[in-house]
Structure 1
Amino acid sequence: MRTITIEPHNPHWFDAYEKEQVKLKDVLSDEVLSVHHIGSTSVPGLAAKPVIDILLEIKSLERLDNYNTILQQLGYTPRGENGISGRRYFIKGGDSRTHHIHAFESGSIHITRHLAFRDYLRRHTDIAQQYAAIKFKAAESCDHDSAIYCQLKSEFIHLHEKMAFEALALNVDQSLDAQGC
């Protein structure tokens, strides 16, 4: 059974991401368009489960499925969509997880959603600290049940994803205004 623990931010998480993304780019070079560090471990100062979340922007989900064996050789277990349509999800480390891969085709709204939320938390350290408090409380209350843990965070995430999208639209509108469009 997985244990859900939240740890203070660890600068090593950035190094762990960097090492893994190099491996992934190497073996998926024909399919991957970009690789991003997402999730709480990607936000400086934010407490997190010590699991590195990696977002792959890829050309084709169908072609990515052909790489399952190669990813298994790197220690990843394919989980298909795992509850999110248009995603390929992989875990590394079994019950002692170290990495998650979330792969989406280029143009997916899920890419924008993940990056907008990450960047929003990076810009708003006060909101990131509120999120950390919610995560600590959720970890204490969930009895190591991942579904309950996620449910206890969902209201906060949905509210701030919406705010992140609103901020993103404002920034896009401002840059268009600045260009005279």
Structure 2
Amino acid sequence: MRKVEVVKYSPEWKRKFEEEAGKLRRLFEEELVAIHHIGSTSVEGLAAKPIIDMMPVVRDIERVDAYMERMEALGYRGLGEYGIPKRRYFRKGEEERTVHVHVFEEGNPDVIRHLAFRDYLRTFPDVRDDYGALKLQLAAQHPEDMEGYIQGKHNWIIETERLATQWYKENHGV
């Protein structure tokens, strides 16, 4: 069972993202449309598990499978769709995870969902702070139960994603 660790925001997370993003830009080259820092470590001031979440957006998701060996050479383990259709998921570190990579094809609605959630938390500090408090509370309640921690956040995230996506679409002409 993995320990649930939620820590205060660290400016170091942005540097770690940039470092890893550079490696993925060189790896995916022409296949890459964009690469985004997502998840809690991308929101300044938000408590988070110290794992960098990255979202490369590619031209063709099916072609990502050809990059498996090169991703492994960078220390990533490929887990296929891992519960989300049309995604390719990779993680770095087994015992101590450091990076999660969620690859989506350009135009996939999950791209907007992730960007909307991130930008909503960046724009509304009260919502960010509520989420941070919830995460710290759940980590204290479930220090050895990652599934309990994740389930405790589930309803809050679903509702906030709904609001964030609506807000994002209204403000970005999507």
TM, length-normalised to structure 1: 0.91
Q: Report the Cα distance in structure 2 between the residues aligned to 1:135 and 1:127, rounded to whole angstroms.
A: 12
Aligned to 1:179: none
Asked if residue 108 in structure 1 is aligned to residue 98 in structure 2, the reply is: no
Q: How far did residue 143 of structure 1 move?
A: 4.2
Structure 2: segments with no counterpart, 5+ residues: none
Q: How far did residue 2 of structure 1 move?
A: 2.4
Q: How far did residue 117 of structure 1 move?
A: 0.3
Q: Which amino acid letter does the alignment assign opposite residue 134 of structure 1?
A: L
TM, length-normalised to structure 2: 0.95
CA RMSD of aligned residues (A): 1.4
Q: Which amino acid letter does the alignment assign opposite residue 155 of structure 1?
A: N
Task: Please list, as runs of the form range in 1=range in 2, the aligned pairs for 1:69-84 lying within 5 A after superposition.
Answer: 69-84=69-84
Q: How far did residue 150 of structure 1 move?
A: 1.4
Aligned to 1:138: 138
Aligned to 1:149: 149
Q: Report the Cα distance in structure 2 between the residues aligned to 1:172 and 1:70, rounded to whole angstroms.
A: 35
Greater length-normalized contact order (CA 8 Å, ≥ 6 residues apart): 2
Asked if residue 168 in structure 1 is aligned to residue 147 in structure 2, the reply is: no
Aligned to 1:45: 45
Q: Give the length in aligned residue pairs.
A: 174
Contact 2:5 2:143 (C-alpha < 8 Å) held by counterparts: no
Q: How far did residue 172 of structure 1 move?
A: 4.4
SS at match of 1:66: helix
Structure 1: segments with no counterpart, 5+ residues: 177-181
| Larger Rg computed on CA atoms | 1
Segment of structure 1 superposing worse, 15-24 or 58-67: 58-67
